[in-house]
A and B are shown apart, each in its own frame.
Chain A
């Protein structure tokens, strides 16, 4: 029996030492000798035919080495979209625009020069002859008759029309029609969720190094799924996968946006192969707004059938997911997740949701922290508050009345998923206690008399994490796996090296996995080294680094160590001349049970013997290492409830935070300090999208208006409140170690908590906040409209 010494500890981060000294190595810091720089010609139009491209003037500029256009990409493939639901039309990501451009920022040509300065000089010299076409940037207009068709092969602008049939995993089917017929009230709502994205502070970048003699490409890349990039790049370039090595530097934030495969992956690789010298491309901030995938943006319509006593009978809706000009790596995935999580923590046996993927002349919409979950939670949590208002029931009480209870797990959702464990009522009551709910409501009335508009907004959420059992992903038409692998090697001195396929992007993966390994081997954390970021050394990653998968990676480490300990016991038994059943691995030692120090060996002593190989038991091999590829048995369902307390200045529409309480449950916690950091960070992005962040396109011109950090507003120190976080621990029965993933949870309920709070603050006006971001301008307009309607 081992003592848990490292799981649950706020171990200091080993990542910090170089980073606080400015000694990190990020992609822009990598400069091999002879490196040249790439810049990309991007479409200035939302929709246009390309008649011709004249590169002669650019090529003639001193210092320019290469210009690539579509004509130079013969035999080069495009990157596929990985989520392919039945009936989905074909859509992929080409390296350069072909005969037309479909969004502002689409890559048209690539220039390589001595410096980025010269490369940018050359951009202006590439002469592209465009014929501008009609564009459409509004999600609803894109599916109207007569809208400009963006992808001719689709026939219209709908790439997929998928309906969740409301059948759970046991095959039980609901009766949506019946539920709505039986309802005492039908609450309806239409929501517009704004387009925003991860905006990591570090933009994307690549350094490609082609070795002509070895015929091998080394690509320094921030991809969150390095092995998948390797596989897809081999396919696109038409070279063997064994000829590609992906090396990962420090990543300055990713948030899902660096998960996808991008045109530049192909362009930089091709450029270095053709030039025979290293090629570097660093995305600048202006490019990033156009060229890195966007997220969210949906138009949702919901109806909730309720009884007068507050019981939810049925939920049905339609989600328009604005996919941008074409599907990117995860394509329709987030929209599917929206449909999958919409029933949330509530018992709603009758459910139906139609999801449409809509094409518009905008940057592709793909992987971003939350992955459709925040969108789904926004819809349902706003609907619950609308129902509360309609029925005259307190929003907390209404939620409590409808929660799935702690003894109802595993719960079979009508959206098809299985929730593994949870205690929703406890999370709510803990949150209510933390805000002093009764007192707050009383205070709210007093403040109202003084002209202070204070509001309380509750939002509960589930977060399907630990994505996911590979077989189930296959059933969902998602074309990669969900496993994570780890190889653990004990060296002859008894120290451990852990190889992981995970890609750290700031969340402390190295420290977390070192803690797990140290805990399971019962050795000092300083004796564990974690190796990541080299596809030549690390195990193939199924789904890679998503915020909610450290649990899967941790499980792989644990299972590999189980094998090592079993091997050590067998070898130790041999060495101690005992039967294997009489020998145990405890506290980093292999010992005969009850025999004390005389019959005991350290891990190092056993390891040394393993490498000498003189006494290896029959059936075993020399050395002491193991590889385990862990495929989760089920998705895990993290959950929680947030409560936002805000004051609204009705003269300006400005929203000020009074309090923000988080109750979060992510199963067994490996490092509490890091978990807290993840919650804060995810909340920061969730609140950013709730209040400030938005990609804005001009409907007349189709231009992207948010082209700088002065237009696209990231939350600053003074925009975010102090967070009060409380953790619950409901271990996952289906996950090794009981861990659930958690890096994304904070962003799920943020927007609806704030929206509900604002509606509550402005209840006297009957304002419904159904659009994000909730800007002061929009709040003011809502109040003015409400006043005008009375």
Chain B
């Protein structure tokens, strides 16, 4: 399984990179971590004429947190895993992403740009109301991850000339608690279904809820379940109701690893489990 021919360039600055992207046109692909792209190249499912290797663009490798997190697009997932600045929900999700070797090369920008519907990060970042800066040779713009994803899978709403350069994760509100539950056939596999949750609670009443789901047609916020939870007492009844609502609105899909009904059912189960985790004072931080 050998890739088809491509011409290769390796810019070392953002300016160089976006210039090359414009120059090479729509038949070019950006190579970041390569953990998703290179298999496609090896299978010849993708045959770009040009490959723009941005691994040398060191200025995009950074993590900082001052309340909110600011992450360069080329930051490796392992860096995030090992950083003290990393948001709690991201910290729960990161160990589920593939294996160590994959995370050593995979980048946050790459994961978002690839937008695999079974991937953890897009949904997690949607829940965190994260924003993404995309840069091109004509400038830059910022959008929410939800806007980036739209209802797409394996592509985003970015146009061919744009490259993700930064991700901003707003500071969590006081008392925010997190839950994460994923079901996959084997540890490290892509999810058959997964749920990421951020809730704020006053006393034992839900003030706000953000529920992200993955493993279906595309990463999505389950807004109906979120709304239904607001004002509820934290108890099994609320969890069950949220689970049912979440399952009903989940854009389910079917493949050899899980049929549509099963995935929908799992979302219901995982929503309850993630909610339970988020309310567990020890675990839900």
Contacts and interface: CB of A to CB of B under 8 A. Distances in A.
Interface residues on A, range: 20 to 34
B141 interface: no
Nearest to A694: B256
Interface string A284-310: 111000000000000000000000000
A16 to B, nearest CB: 25
Interface string A770-785: 0000011100110000
Interface in A668-711: 692, 696, 705-706, 708, 710-711
Interface string B216-247: 00000000000000000000000000000000
A121 B4 CA distance: 7
A716 B186 contact: yes
A777 B258 contact: yes
B2 A116 contact: yes
A284 B1 contact: yes
A780 B189 contact: no
A718 B188 CA distance: 10
B281 interface: no
A125 to B, nearest CB: 12
A781 B1 CA distance: 37
B100 interface: no
A92 interface: no
Interface string A614-626: 0000000000000
Contacts of A775: 185
Contacts of B190: 710
A116 B4 CA distance: 11
B269 interface: yes
A121 B269 CA distance: 47
B187 A711 contact: no
B23 interface: no
A117 B44 CA distance: 11
B38 to A, nearest CB: 13
A191 B124 CA distance: 42
Contacts of B187: 716, 718
Nearest to B256: A696
Given A117-B2, A286-B43, A692 B186 contact: yes
A705 B256 contact: yes
Interface in B1-40: 1-5, 39
Contacts of B189: 710, 713
Interface stretch (B126-134, B166-174, B199-207, B259-267): B259-267
A449 interface: no
B153 interface: no
A652 B186 contact: no
Query: Max chain A CB contacts within 10 Å: which of B4, B256, B258, B259?
Result: B256
A120 interface: yes
A339 B183 CA distance: 39
Contacts of A706: 256
B190 to A, nearest CB: 7
Interface in B87-122: none
A438 interface: no
Interface in A561-615: none
Contact of B262 (A120, A696, A780): A780
Contact of A777 (B1, B4, B262): B262
A651 interface: yes
B185 A692 contact: yes
Query: Max chain B CB contacts within 10 Å: which of A117, A121, A652, A696?
Result: A652
A719 interface: yes
A282 to B, nearest CB: 11
A116 B44 CA distance: 14
A781 B104 CA distance: 38
Contacts of B265: 780
Given A116-B2, A286-B43, A716-B187, A711 B269 contact: no
Nearest to A653: B262
Contacts of B259: 777
A710 B256 CA distance: 11
Contacts of B256: 696, 705-706, 711
A705 B266 CA distance: 23
A708 B45 CA distance: 13
Interface string B262-282: 100110010000000000000
Can you list the 10 inter-chain pairs with the closest CB atoms, starting with the nearest? A117-B2, A284-B1, A651-B269, A718-B187, A777-B262, A696-B256, A120-B2, A777-B258, A716-B186, A705-B256
Given A120-B44, A710-B189, 19 more contacts: A117-B3, A120-B1, A120-B2, A121-B4, A121-B5, A284-B1, A652-B266, A652-B269, A692-B185, A692-B186, A705-B256, A708-B43, A710-B190, A713-B186, A715-B186, A716-B187, A718-B186, A719-B186, A777-B257
Interface of B: 1-5, 39, 43-44, 183, 185-190, 256-259, 262, 265-266, 269
27 contacts: A116-B2, A117-B2, A117-B3, A120-B1, A120-B2, A120-B4, A120-B44, A121-B4, A285-B1, A286-B43, A651-B269, A652-B266, A652-B269, A653-B262, A692-B186, A708-B39, A713-B185, A713-B186, A715-B186, A716-B186, A716-B187, A716-B188, A718-B187, A776-B183, A777-B259, A777-B262, A781-B262
